[in-house]
Structure 1
Amino acid sequence: MRVEYDPEAMNSTAFYRFLTSVVVPRPIAWVSTTTPDGRTENLAPHSFFSIASTDPPIVQFTSIGRKDSLRNVEDTGEFVVNFSSEPLLQLINATAIDFPRAVSEFDTAGVEREASRCVRPPRVAGSPVVLECRSHTTLHMGNSTLVFGRVVHAAADEDYIVDNLPSSGLLRPLTKLGGDEWGTLGEVLHLSRIPYEDPGRDDPDERNGSGHHGCGP
């Protein structure tokens, strides 16, 4: 027997809790931004995060309500996604506090910064992989805003790279589950995709990085 849930009949917060308990695990974008005057550098985790496009490379995170990350992206057009790794859990959780915009989570949580190469917001020095992004577009939907950013530069710690790619086992990604639950990588299953043999198809998975060190358009 199933328990039925009607979002039209439920309180929106109650259905939010149900939905975020079902759509799991969710990767976490640890987003760093800066205020327009450059005086305050903000840092916050966003668990509605995904790849939106591969060519051009665009990632997307969702701001529920008007969070500081969203305001700063709207005002400056730039942000950095810092990879959320298991050893960083306590720091990530400490930056989830809803501080005023003029308060820097870098400072309050004691997170070490490093300069980005192509954008103004700093990177998290201890994050194994970082994606520097320029705003592509924002899409308002209900009580949320989807933020799309074009990746103009990426950097990965060499200690986490195997066969020229970051290794999930070494990265130890954190995920968000329902309520106050967090997830770790656990067992990794290996199963090859069954290919459709078409000699005219261009498979983006077969392309290799060029080693270009620019900042994109």
Structure 2
Amino acid sequence: MHYAPDDRTLPHNPLKAIVAPRPIGWISAMSRAGKLNLAPYSFFNAVGDDMVAFSSTGRKDAMTFAEEGGDFVCNLATYDLREQMNASSAPLPRGESEFDFAGLTTAPSRKVRAPRVAEAAAALECRWLQTVPLVPLDGGEAANFLVIGQVVSIYIDDRFVVDGLVDTAAMQPIQRGGYFDYFKVGPDAKFAMQRPKGAGDYTSR
């Protein structure tokens, strides 16, 4: 079959089920006035060796607070924190803390003003670089915005550093699928392949 956004052949747009599983950017940000926001974004990824980006539909608090404060933190969403991550997506009044609502605690960051989730196994401290409005094909007003940050410091729980390498599988990060689906990473989901010569750093681990 073929599907287009204006079709009625499927009850839901399948894009999120196909571009999956997607890493979750669990973004904490602080407004200029010191208000906190914590929210999960599944349109998130690394976009360079030291840069990450997340996409916001509408000008939500995570985006506006990152712009106001000049920074944000991407906390690792893991299986043991799945319920708290989900709770932090609730539409609270602007400035009401999702940390408190989800039963989480804050921990101070090293190089940015926004705090990290103290319970998270890892966190990327980012300086806000820019917000790019994603203008649609018809040239209308942008509904989606790409927020880009540069990673300036990384927190990792010492339990997950083995022989100088991060044990990603042991942290059990969760990822977003379509509909209400999530996936988790575990030791049995990991495999390794060396890159062929000439395709970048093929000896890299």
Shift of 1:206: 4.3
1:156 maps to amino acid: I
2:124–2:155 contact (8 Å) kept in structure 1: yes
Shift of 1:83: 0.5
2:39 maps to amino acid: A
Alpha-carbon spacing, 1:134–1:23, altered in 2? closer, same or farther (3 Å): same
Shift of 1:164: 1.2
Q: Distance in 2 between matches of 1:116 and 1:196?
A: 39
Per-residue CA deviation, residues 15-67 of structure 1 (Å, 9 max, x unaligned), is 6x3111111100101100011111x211000001111111xx10111111111
2:53–2:146 contact (8 Å) kept in structure 1: yes
Q: How does 1:52-201 map to 2 (within 5 A)?
A: 52-54=47-49, 57-141=50-134, 142-186=142-186, 187-196=188-197
Normalising by structure 1, report the TM-score.
Answer: 0.83
Does residue 48 of structure 1 match 2:46? no
Shift of 1:194: 3.6
2:4 maps to amino acid: D
Per-residue CA deviation, residues 125-155 of structure 1 (Å, 9 max, x unaligned), is 1101111000112111042111110001111
Per-residue CA deviation, residues 81-125 of structure 1 (Å, 9 max, x unaligned), is 000111000000000011121211011111111111111111101
Does residue 4 of structure 1 match 2:2? yes
Q: Distance in 2 between matches of 1:81 and 1:22?
A: 24
Alpha-carbon spacing, 1:61–1:205, altered in 2? closer, same or farther (3 Å): farther
Shift of 1:165: 2.0
Shift of 1:193: 2.5
2:146 maps to amino acid: L
The 3-state SS of whatever aligns with 1:191 is coil
Aligned-pair Cα RMSD in Å: 2.0
The 3-state SS of whatever aligns with 2:100 is helix
Shift of 1:197: 5.3
Identify unmatched segments of 5+ residues in structure 1.
Answer: 208-217
Alpha-carbon spacing, 1:194–1:53, altered in 2? closer, same or farther (3 Å): closer
Q: Distance in 1 between matches of 2:161 and 2:83?
A: 24
Alpha-carbon spacing, 1:4–1:206, altered in 2? closer, same or farther (3 Å): closer
1:137 maps to amino acid: Q
Q: Distance in 1 between matches of 2:192 and 2:25?
A: 26
The 3-state SS of whatever aligns with 1:51 is strand
Q: Distance in 1 between matches of 2:168 and 2:123?
A: 14
2:72 maps to amino acid: F
Q: Distance in 1 between matches of 2:55 and 2:202?
A: 26
Aligned twin of 1:211: none
2:40 maps to amino acid: P
Q: Distance in 1 between matches of 2:67 and 2:176?
A: 26
2:169–2:190 contact (8 Å) kept in structure 1: no
Identify unmatched segments of 5+ residues in structure 2.
Answer: 135-141
Alpha-carbon spacing, 1:33–1:205, altered in 2? closer, same or farther (3 Å): farther
- Identity percentage of aligned residues: 35
Alpha-carbon spacing, 1:205–1:138, altered in 2? closer, same or farther (3 Å): farther
Q: Distance in 2 between matches of 1:92 and 1:194?
A: 35
